[in-house]
Structure 1
Amino acid sequence: MDWQKGEESQNVEVDQGGGGGGRGFGGGRMGIGGLIILALLGWIFFKNPLALLQQGGGQPATYAPRSQPAQVDPQQMEFVRRVLGSTEKTWGDIFAGMGRTYVDPKLDLFSGGVNTACGAASTAVGPFYCPGDQKVYLDLDFFRELETRFHSSGDFARAYVIAHEVGHHVQNQLGVFAKSSEMQRRGAAMQGATGLSVRQELQADCFAGVWANRTQQRLQWLQPGDVESALNAATQIGDDTLQREARGTVVPDSFTHGTSAQRVKWFKTGLQSGDIQSCDTFSGPL
């Protein structure tokens, strides 16, 4: 991936530690902020929120993130800036074509722990988007985990991670979250193989595919093997694959993000069409 071709965003922030907002991190059980961030509509990318809450007889887990200044390699910083910049250009153009204005999200690079408008979070939750402050949060150590734990190397696999979280920001601006909340109030299930959380996550995968399509048309920056690396990442983080690796069984009723096959399918749907109209995961089969 020739990522240096990407437009450079000015919306990347490096967290300097100390907790921010006057709420430092400390020991003890998870507070309400931490519960909120884990429960918020299944928006956490690679983790099952319920699994993070369950330790020791179903009680909330001890949650003691340590906030410290993020140490960012200059090349990693440029990579993140250029990938985020490419999403800004792509979604700005798509929204303009709909007669709307796209508001760029911020991307916060942190280390160890971070406070957000959605509550406190640690590295353990993985990359996530907080609608309360319209920020994507990313600990760059996750890229190492992507390669070692999820066996997904390559720049485009890392770019897919960012594009997926930006996809949640797009959903926020399009009113998808508000629609999901209303459906939940009317009795729709949040969790499960056909739940709202899975539908939202698969749509974010599809939006990442739309970004990949449109950005490739503009920049011609993909190289042989790049698409395969992103598809492999999508395969590695399906609910069924993660559950099978963790406990040897698959429990569809606890799905929050969709199966490996579904994640690949919806990313490819957006990649092949380049059209957000193809990303309707809220009606019909998944």
Structure 2
Amino acid sequence: MRFEKGYRSDDVIDRRGQRSSGGGGGGGGPLLGLIGVLLRSRFGWIGVILSLVLYVMVGRCEQQGAYMAEQRDAPVAPEKADDLSSFVAYALDDVQNSWQARSPIALSGMGPADYRRAKLVLFTDATPTGCGYGDAASGPFYCPRDERVYIDLGFYRELRDRLGAPGDFAQAYVIAHEVGHHVQNLLGLSDKVHAASPRQLQGPGGLSVRLELQADCLAGVWARDAELRGKLDPGDIEEAMTAAAAIGDDRLQKMARGTVQPESFSHGSSAQRVKWFRRGHDTHDPASCDTFNATTL
């Protein structure tokens, strides 16, 4: 993907290098964090991803107690605007500009809603969020409560080296997926999923998987938009689909445990993630991303 070196965005907050102390509160965040620690000690980084990746985005986040550490929310300083942070800023603005141009947005049975820009927080290791304490081990995530995307840029190294999904458009796909969750939040979908029972959330056809696959589809809609505007290089769409396949539940479970357990899926299989990204790209229409009423995922 073509971008401007040294690019900076007003919507990017830089907390890299800030030390944070977390904790506080009950609810899902600390429990999932504990499982992450246990899986990390046994399986390594992939084990952490298996249980934690993007858990906040299912909407099952409660406001924690005294979790906040003092943070200095500042934009990326010129001397810290390296190529990767500049690319993230450029991709974020491109995705958000695309959705803003479509505003008001409507999906099947939802909306319309005006697009309101999200913020993206760069952090190192861990950081407080409106949904509780966020850890880099969870991978990039979106918090509906504060309307912010969070990412430790070290994830992109893991995506390339451990998960086999290199390329700048693989990185852009991650951002577009998170902004897809922001679109869902603006339309009220996150609240609907949050209100569901655990039984409705779980499994290969559960609401959690449907929410994630829809975000993949919305990422595909933007990818086609960027392609039509001449922003992409040859092979970029393939890079995004490789990344989507790399973080399928079945692949991550196979890597971590050697077996696949569909009943514990939260994001969809590799084939499903590629399918819905491709659908969004090929149709270039958010209305095609109705995973919640799809009989076959």
* Aligned position for 2:224: 213
* Aligned position for 2:29: 35
Does residue 1:195 correspond to 2:206, yes or no?
A: yes
* Aligned position for 2:63: none
Residue identity opposite 1:273 in structure 2: T
Residue identity opposite 1:245 in structure 2: M
- Say which SS state the counterpart of residue 103 (structure 2) adopts: helix
Distance 2:92 2:124 in 1: 19
Q: Which residue, 22, 25, 40 being the options, matches 1:25? A: 22
Contact 2:54/2:141, CA 8 A, preserved across alignment: no
Shift of 1:96: 3.7
Distance 1:139-1:274 versus aligned 2 partners, 3 A rule? same
* Aligned position for 2:60: none
Does residue 1:87 correspond to 2:95, yes or no?
A: yes
Distance 1:267-1:216 versus aligned 2 partners, 3 A rule? same
Residue identity opposite 1:25 in structure 2: G
Distance 1:18 1:126 in 2: 18
Contact 2:139/2:155, CA 8 A, preserved across alignment: yes
Shift of 1:178: 2.2
Deviates more, 1:95-104 or 1:168-177: 95-104
* 1:60-100 deviation per Cα after TM superposition (whole angstroms, max 9, x unaligned): xxxxxx99999955222211111011011100011247664
Q: Which residue, 44, 47, 50 being the options, matches 2:49? A: 47
Shift of 1:237: 0.8
Distance 1:88 1:37 in 2: 33
Shift of 1:101: 2.1
Distance 2:71 2:251 in 1: 33
Q: Which residue, 138, 163, 167 being the options, matches 1:125? A: 138
TM-score by length of 1: 0.81
Alignment of 1:148-227 (within 5 A): 148-182=161-195, 184-185=196-197, 189-218=200-229, 220-227=230-237
Percent identity of paired positions between Structure 1 and Structure 2 = 47
Distance 1:158 1:52 in 2: 15
- Say which SS state the counterpart of residue 200 (structure 2) adopts: coil
Distance 1:275 1:72 in 2: 37
Contact 2:221/2:286, CA 8 A, preserved across alignment: yes
Distance 2:92 2:260 in 1: 34
Does residue 1:258 correspond to 2:268, yes or no?
A: yes
Deviates more, 1:77-86 or 1:187-196: 187-196
Distance 1:50-1:139 versus aligned 2 partners, 3 A rule? closer
- Say which SS state the counterpart of residue 116 (structure 2) adopts: coil
Distance 1:52 1:10 in 2: 24
Does residue 1:4 correspond to 2:4, yes or no?
A: yes
Residue identity opposite 2:204 in structure 1: A
Q: Which residue, 115, 125, 131 being the options, matches 1:112? A: 125
Deviating beyond 6 angstroms after TM superposition, the runs of 4 or more aligned structure 1 residues are: 50-53, 66-71
Q: How many residues align?
A: 257
5+ unaligned residues in a row in structure 2: which ranges? 34-47, 56-68, 107-111
Distance 1:151 1:267 in 2: 18
Distance 1:206 1:97 in 2: 15
Deviates more, 1:172-181 or 1:66-75: 66-75
Shift of 1:104: 0.3
TM-score by length of 2: 0.78
Q: Which residue, 290, 293, 297 being the options, matches 1:280? A: 290
Deviates more, 1:222-231 or 1:92-101: 92-101
Distance 2:9 2:114 in 1: 17
